[in-house]
Amino acid sequence: MYVGDAARERRRFRRGGVLASGVLAVVVAALAYGSGEDMPAPRYHTGPPSQAFRNILPATLFSDLEVSSVYAVAAKIPDLLYQLPCYCYCDRTMSHQSLLDCFRGKHAAECDICRQEAVFAYCEHRKGLSPARIRKAIAEGGWERVDLRRLSSPLSSSRRRPDACTY
């Protein structure tokens, strides 16, 4: 065996080791995180709160029209939001207990998932669906059909639905 052959063999062995390490890292990460289907549902409450929760941030705090519109929607249904999970999984990263917690602070202002779920919940609630049926529809991904760009102004006190309900 020549000196050049040994060096080539070592390089080939190192490349194979790096490749194997990369594959192993991907497999370990996949097993650690699992697929979204394997993850348990996010936290929520099975019934309305025992006390009134009205401490959703006011819509007027937000200059972004879409964000302020959704906070206005959320303020109309806090008892419902209390009974719904949030599929951005903020229960794991921020210790939220339900979708309502997203609107108690500014988290929902920065998270499309929270906002879409809240508008979806509002629309389905207006159709007469129970919190349990809305939870099921959210788990099935119904909230993904909500187009937040269709919310053109904060909801007034009238009973009209936001444009985002036409999905």
Does residue 118 fall inside a structural domain?
Answer: yes
Does residue 1 fall inside a structural domain?
Answer: yes
Residue 69 shares a structural domain with residue 16: no
Q: What is the pLDDT of residue 39?
A: 60
Residue 16 shares a structural domain with residue 70: no
Residue 29 shares a structural domain with residue 107: no
Residue whose C-alpha is closest to residue 124's, from 68, 69, 72, 84: 84
Residue 114 shares a structural domain with residue 80: yes
- % of the chain at pLDDT higher than 70: 57
- Measured distance CA(161)–CA(164) in Å, rounded: 8
Structural domain boundaries, residue 31: 1-39
Does residue 137 fall inside a structural domain?
Answer: yes
Does residue 49 fall inside a structural domain?
Answer: no
**Mean pLDDT lowest among 36-40, 88-92, 108-112, 156-160:** 156-160
Residue 63 shares a structural domain with residue 31: no
Count of the separate structural domains present in the chain: 2
Give the pTM.
0.65
Does residue 51 fall inside a structural domain?
Answer: no
Better-predicted residue by pLDDT, 137 or 97: 137
Does residue 74 fall inside a structural domain?
Answer: yes
**Residue-wise over 139-157: b if at least 16 C-beta within 10 A, else e?**
eeebbeebebeebeebbee
Does residue 73 fall inside a structural domain?
Answer: yes
